[in-house]
Structure 1
């Protein structure tokens, strides 16, 4: 049987894409599967796609696409066959109308599944005669406007089945929009078993994940976490995801003085290695048709806290058993639930175990069986359905939009992605162990080590003085190679490859997952007085090649909390290695990319190895040369010691430049002037030039101070 999924784009990241891939991969075990992606906006999908699945992009909108279809004249003509009330109507066009119609006119699919309202309409119109047509509801009845629901009514009535992801939403659809000839039922989304070990629930980390949008109500979570930090300042909140609300959420974090406690991690794929770094998962959504992130967290052994919103969470979370449900929009209730799990380790572990156990009902196998049963009940692939013929689209609407407009000739749809070749290209999982070693295990092809005896893991340094510098480790019979904790890796980037026997051939080592949990305990492993050696494995590039980032510092100043008070920025940190802050210690700013210049501020010793220094924003602002000055931050432990660069290294975040964002200080740019000239400038309004002073990290995780001109007001 051939099953075709019609999706907005398979090249992005989001819940609909994830659940479509989960279901498609499970069905690919016994069926021919294609995913028709209306748009292709990047070269490579962000999610890994099973090679058994054929991807068919229809409209290529990549900025550097040879087809340049974003500028196609028909793509500038509004769609006539896509619902006008649909949220993405503005992205669709006469070109998408035609490409979808032409694809399915030549299709032999037995089942066509539309994954959003507008694509459900396309499915009803364009599916091949005889194909079973199914619409999926990944939002909910109440989420859609009345205008869209009315516009969708004839399309839904023409389907064989309409599938929601919760029983509650299915009941609402049946009650408010009776569809006599369409089966309306609920089938939950599926979440596969994680490729990483479950969380041990020992780290003081709360994790949230999802699109950064207003409906997720992260501002409620941030307010709640401020109450948690007031009692337990050692805990941090990590929010994984991308979206339009990112900058607004950053401002919220800064407003609540939580820059040292709330991290916006950006999109993470796969997400499982992020869940297992935490001990509690939380969702504060206003609406949630299902709750994919809740199931993902539970499958990784985390107890969950969720708002009791319509409709999915209450069908996923068993309140008091594997998680806690709280009222929508109530920061105090969220904070109370967080504190309950933070302060009661026994409860946290009991709920985490129940979460892992109960979430198995969302495994892809039983969910796919429910879809397969539905296909069979609707006669998909049967001789009777194959024999059906028609001379019109699957639904003929008595409206002007039913007749497609005449379109200018267009290029044919992009060809399906070719099946992967037979070249040997191993895929591995990598685990950063608690002792600092790395375990790299080949997981695909399953017979890699048996069919390639003598296979070796090779780590090659890139960009160093010796480009041939390598470290080599054999894969054992179990497919695993170990990189010992005490092996010497020079500071910099290292790429990993698989070396064939005799070194005759070397191929990139791709990754399925990278478990970085062990990197979070880096400081606990350090030998007193021995400096810093730290490695973090990660996925690099669009093909997700395994890579390592190594830092080696004989003496290191690790940046800690950063706080703002007026135009002053206070930095706390600690020195690691054969040195410690002493009397006369100084924090030094060094200008980058301009005339050599330094500005020194006294650093106060704080405990055995800690230091604290206050940066007065007026000092670098008075020496500003460009609209975007950058100063590196160094620490001189004593007057007779060489300064060391202040950086933040000892965790799992490879690039901190966009994750740790601290409050900006504002000051005025004042230059030394004669009194009369200063008075004149003040009268003319030229004296009060504002300068934004901010601390952050560069691409090497070194701490830098940035000055940016900001007009008054």
Structure 2
């Protein structure tokens, strides 16, 4: 078979280059192999002849083979962007490389091309003859670098060779039905003799490109933490790249000039490993950790940051090396110290490392490569690239995401109940580990966090996987560095995650239905530093580290979290300054517009309105029956309180003596209030929400802090009280982008006239002008502020209270005036409402409701009107489908 390997830039210390050349060298023993290198920027001793397309050793006069331009023209072309490869994919590609690749690949006489970068994949599928098989060797994790290039051009490849199963799974899921054949093959060891290290030279070695992803400044910082405890040891960094200055500066910062050396290149890399005692890898992510494999072949144990793809594929923790949590400088330092000080451990891990490396010999992997390329050629069957893709079998179906029958379970659970289940299962597992642990209580949008030492990770996973976990719980490893999250049942995921060192896991319901938010319990695994402190893997609200000796029963406090007694640090046993610690009630106003007796009262009252008020009262905006239409919003709005705001103390329902048939008014959290309890007798009966608003603060037993809901306001997901109030008790105000506009416009609706009246009153009293309406979202209030409004404008509020229908003289007390007065007096503060407004009069109500089902908003308003684009039966059907889909769990105050 004739095979061409396409490489962007050959460098002796680049892992990708070494892996490709090792494979090419092994394949050359049985096939006709050529290496085509796009850019030549220096000299490198290579095991194979290499054809260089663009020579950049003198960047002012680049050379091109085959010649496509004179030197001056080539220099100009090299300054222009590539039309073949986007700059965001790889900035090394230019108009000059486009021309060089076109000449080199257009008539390439080979059976197969192996591209080794996303940019070269784009070139291969665009420029090589149609009969040539294209295999893309994605030896670096494209998901963390340039996923767009691979996802765009991957379907045109005959086969993609991924370095790890994690990478292969990601690619199959991303491309779905257009995915090519995806196989997993790791990079090989370069054939040839490799001396073994005696592990007696006090040298820690890192071989890597000096680029940000390799995180070598963090390695220097980790070595600095333990350098004083290891007086005879040195850190050796072998590599070149644009971050060299940053690495040198980090060395200078820590005063390690005589302890850390940076070597640009070495003639004999195996000899470097033979003179090393520890291999250190600080990479954020890897396609395949070839440096680790080369070190292990010399019998050198590896210390590395764990990652979803990278050292984890080679290093088995405590068997042939040590893994630490990603980004944990303290953990890396402690692991380096441990291996340097413990010669017995170093030799045990080094011996196992050498055994592991034997499975990656280039010859064995070359046989697998031969089968892969041969199968790809056979699948072509003489067809062109796209004809072969059309004939390819569809990829295998994705695995199911959640257990069968899960919806039957979650439809009976609130997020609070599901979170309690998750916390109970996690706490039980933490107790079984036998190590000190504690819980960070929930706060705001953050759920509880269970903290354990990282050394207990596998024990915790084993305990989480034990039989008996609630069926609705899943175990999730969050997304990291571009790699997607992984989720499964606790038993399945515990097996997949065992051996890794990722520091954050989540125990939570499967992401379906009402349990999509607010029910997660985080598990953090803190690395133990060389100083004996547990170090947090991410920022938190209380401490970056905790001394291990603080986690004793005598020094821990106990708190109630989700009805469970759990240990915590004394610092966390009391509420934080940004926690609301006062009771909050909810107030609803509602009427049943279909009640014949109520409607008769409305007609009689309307007939009694005379004078100028009659003209406004007779409009449908003021008194039309559609204003009072009940679409069953109240039932589901109350469900939203049960599901998403369990912290609400009591719910006060203000009506004209009407009671929904489904409501249990004897429930201890429900208080039914009649209009006559709030308004003067001469104001009744009233059919004006502005009038009713003037009396809501008089509800007996109402808490100082309350949230006023229209019956068409609903919560969309769990919200804490801090969404409505500051810890000091100020209430939030959610402005609308809609402006109030100019005053005294003809035929203005009553709500707009009320806004004008509010504006005039506040301008006269405070000399300030309000410009915007408030959002159609729940209104946060304080009784004392509402009383201040009555004290400031008694005549206007009294007149509004006695207006039976909306009138041009009304003020809107609780939907605008009180909030704006609070802003002017410092009793309120501006905030933002994450709101979905569904206009029920529009023709696209079905689309709007479908979008709302994504659960991406805190609040929902079902805005109704007098005129509708849809027939009433269609609108009723859409709402009847939407309500139980979004709010499937009945509230305890609903009658059966």
Normalising by structure 2, we get a TM-score of 0.41
1:232-247 matched pairs, under 5 angstroms? 232-247=230-245
CA distance in 2, matches of 1:138, 1:23: 12
Q: In the TM superposition, what is the alpha-carbon distance from 1:373 to its structure 2 partner?
A: 0.7
Deviations 1:444-502 (A, max 9, x none): xxxxxxxxxxxxxxxxxxxxxxxxxxxxxxxxxxxxxxxxxxxxxxxxxxxxxxxxxxx
Give the aligned partner of residue 220 of structure 1: 218
Spell out, residue by residue over 1:215-263, the C-alpha distance to the aligned partner (whole angstroms, 9 max, x if none): 2122222222123221121111111111222222212112112112111
Query: Which of 322-331 and 243-252 deviates more?
Result: 243-252
Shift of 1:302: 0.3
Query: Is 1:68 the counterpart of 2:71 in the alignment?
Result: yes
CA drift at 1:58:
2.0
Q: Distance in 2 between matches of 1:352 and 1:371?
A: 29
| Distance of aligned partners of 1:150 and 1:329 in 2 relative to their CA distance in 1, 3 Å threshold | closer
Matches within 5 A, 1:579-618: none
Q: Distance in 2 between matches of 1:234 and 1:138?
A: 37
Within 2, Cα distance between the matches of 1:142 and 1:193? Answer: 30
Give the equivalent residue in structure 1 for 2:322: 324
If each structure's helix is expressed as a fraction of its own residues, which one has the higher value? 2
Larger radius of gyration: 2
Q: Which has a greater percent of strand?
A: 1
Look up the match of 1:111: 112
Partner of 1:691: none
Gaps of 5+ in 1: 397-713
Question: What is the aligned partner in structure 2 of residue 29 from structure 1?
Answer: 29
Shift of 1:160: 0.6
Matched position secondary structure for 2:295: helix
Cα separation, 2, equivalents of 1:2 and 1:331: 47
Number of matched residues?
A: 382
- The corresponding residue for 1:59 is 54
Gap regions ≥5 residues in structure 2: 64-69, 391-896
Matched, 1:259 2:260: no
SS in 1 for 2:363: helix
Q: Distance in 2 between matches of 1:292 and 1:389?
A: 35
Which runs of structure 2 are paired with 1:382-393 in the superposition (5 Å)? 385=381, 387-388=382-383
Q: 1:78 aligns with which of 76, 81, 89?
A: 81
Structure 2 vs 1, CA of residues 93 and 339 (structure 1 numbering), >3 Å: closer, same or farther? Answer: closer
**Once the two structures are superposed, what CA deviation does each residue of 1:655-697 show, in whole Å capped at 9, x if it has no partner?**
xxxxxxxxxxxxxxxxxxxxxxxxxxxxxxxxxxxxxxxxxxx
Task: Verify the 8 A CA contact 1:125 1:393 in the aligned structure 2.
Answer: no
Matched residue SS, 1:134: strand
Cα displacement string for residues 113-151 of structure 1 (whole angstroms, at most 9, x for unaligned residues): 11101110111112222221111212224313xxx5345
Alignment of 1:582-661 (within 5 A): none
Aligned to 1:39: 39
Change (3 A) 1:379 1:389: closer
In structure 1, distance between residues paired with 2:97 and 2:263: 34
Q: Confirm or deny: 8 A CA contact 1:228 1:339 kept in the other structure.
A: yes
The equivalent of 1:192 in structure 2 is 190
Give 1:336 deviation, angstroms: 1.4
1:545-573 deviation line (CA, Å, top 9, x unaligned): xxxxxxxxxxxxxxxxxxxxxxxxxxxxx
1:353-372 matches, cutoff 5 A? 353-372=351-370
Answer whether contact 2:162 2:184 (CA < 8 A) is retained. Answer: yes
The alpha carbon displacement at 1:206 in A equals 1.0
Matches within 5 A, 1:313-712: 313-379=311-377, 385=381, 387-388=382-383
Q: State the alpha-carbon separation in 1 of the partners of residues 209 and 116 from structure 2.
A: 18
The Cα shift of 1:101 comes to: 2.4
Distance in 2 separating the partners of 1:259 and 1:302: 25
**What CA distance in whole angstroms lies between the structure 1 residues aligned with 2:243 and 2:131?**
44
Are residues 13 and 373 of structure 1, via their aligned partners in 2, closer, same or farther at CA, if it must alter by over 3 Å?
same
Note closer, same or farther for the CA distance 1:117–1:108 as it changes in structure 2 (3 Å cut): same
- 2:292 aligned partner: 294
DSSP-derived class of the 2:258 partner: coil
1:9 deviation in Å? 2.2
Q: List per-residue Cα deviations over 1:595-622 (Å, max 9, x = no partner).
A: xxxxxxxxxxxxxxxxxxxxxxxxxxxx
- Find the counterpart in structure 1 of residue 9 from structure 2: 9
Q: Is the CA contact (8 Å cut-off) linking 2:156 and 2:180 kept in structure 1?
A: yes
- Residues in 2 aligned to 1:287 and 1:97: alpha-carbon distance in whole angstroms: 29
State how far apart, in whole Å, the 1-side matches of 2:200 and 2:260 are: 18
Distance 2:84 2:188 in 1: 31
State the alpha-carbon separation in 1 of the partners of residues 99 and 30 from structure 2: 31
Helix, strand or coil: the match of 1:35? strand
Greater CA drift, 111-120 or 258-267: 258-267
Cα separation, partners in 2 of 1:394 and 1:121, compared to 1, 3 Å: farther
- Specify the SS of the correspondent of 2:110: coil
Give the superposition deviation at 1:200: 0.4
Greater relative CO, 1 or 2 (CA 8 Å, sep 6+): 1
Mapped partners of 1:238, 1:267: distance in 2: 12
Return the alpha-carbon distance in structure 1 between the equivalents of residues 177 and 35 of structure 2. Answer: 27
Measured at CA, do residues 62 and 207 of structure 1 come closer, stay the same or move farther in structure 2, by a change above 3 Å?
closer
Query: What is the SS of the residue equivalent to 1:347?
Result: helix
Q: Supply the distance in 2 between the matched residues of 1:314 and 1:193 (Cα, whole angstroms).
A: 24
Is residue 87 from structure 1 mapped to residue 82 from structure 2 by the alignment?
no
Q: 1:351 to 1:86 in 2, by over 3 A?
A: same
Whole-Å separation in 2 of the counterparts to 1:96 and 1:290: 27
Partner of 2:143: 142
The structural deviation recorded for 1:34 is: 1.0
Q: In 2 relative to 1, CA 31–74 (structure 1 residues): closer, same or farther, beyond 3 Å?
A: same
- Aligned equivalent of 2:268, options 252, 267, 270: 270
Q: Deviations over 1:496-515 (max 9, x none)?
A: xxxxxxxxxxxxxxxxxxxx
Q: Contact between 1:61 and 1:68, CA under 8 Å: does it hold in 2?
A: no
Seen in structure 2, the aligned counterparts of structure 1 residues 174 and 393 have a Cα distance that, compared at 3 Å, is closer
Moved more, 361-370 or 20-29: 361-370
Shift of residue 41, structure 1, vs aligned partner:
2.9
CA RMSD of aligned residues (A): 2.5
**1:27/1:368 contact within 8 Å kept:** yes
| Structure-1 residue corresponding to 2:133 | 132
In structure 2, distance between residues paired with 1:239 and 1:151:
32
Matches of 2:46 and 2:150 in 1, distance apart? 32
CA distance in 2, matches of 1:101, 1:395: 23
Using the TM superposition, give the Cα deviation of residue 388 of structure 1 relative to its aligned residue in structure 2, in angstroms. 4.3
TM-score (norm. length: structure 1): 0.51
Describe the shift of the 1:12–1:68 C-alpha distance in structure 2 as closer, same or farther (beyond 3 A).
Answer: farther
CA pair 69-21 structure 1, distance change in 2 beyond 3 A: farther
User: In 2 relative to 1, CA 290–151 (structure 1 residues): closer, same or farther, beyond 3 Å?
Assistant: closer
* 1:372 Cα deviation from its structure 2 partner: 0.6
Deviation at 1:331, TM superposition (A): 1.8
Matched-pair contact (CA < 8 Å) for 1:286–1:328: yes
Cα distance change on mapping 1:394 and 1:62 into 2, 3 Å: farther
State how far apart, in whole Å, the 2-side matches of 1:10 and 1:282 are: 24
Change over 3 Å in CA distance of 1:355–1:70 after alignment to 2: farther
- Measured in 1, the distance between the counterparts of 2:192 and 2:252 equals 34
1:161 positional shift: 0.7
In the other structure, the counterpart of 1:284 is: 282
Distance 2:208 2:377 in 1: 37
In structure 2, the residue matched to 1:461 is none
Question: Match of 1:177, SS?
Answer: helix
Q: What is the DSSP-based 3-state SS (H/G/I as helix, E as strand, rest coil) of the residue aligned with 2:377?
A: coil
| Residues 60 and 68 in structure 1, CA contact (< 8 A), matched pair in contact too | no
Once the 2 structures are TM-superposed, how far is the Cα of residue 179 of structure 1 from its aligned partner? 4.9
Could you tell me whether the CA contact under 8 Å between 1:227 and 1:335 is conserved in 2? yes
Residues 6 and 115 in structure 1, CA contact (< 8 A), matched pair in contact too: yes
Which of residues 175, 178, 187 is equivalent to 1:177? Answer: 175
- Separation in structure 2 between the aligned mates of residue 235 and residue 95 of structure 1, nearest angstrom: 47
Flag the 1:159–1:379 CA change in 2: closer, same or farther, 3 A. Answer: same
Equivalent pair of 1:125/1:394 in contact (CA under 8 Å): no
1:320/1:141 Cα in 2 relative to 1: closer, same or farther (>3 Å)? same
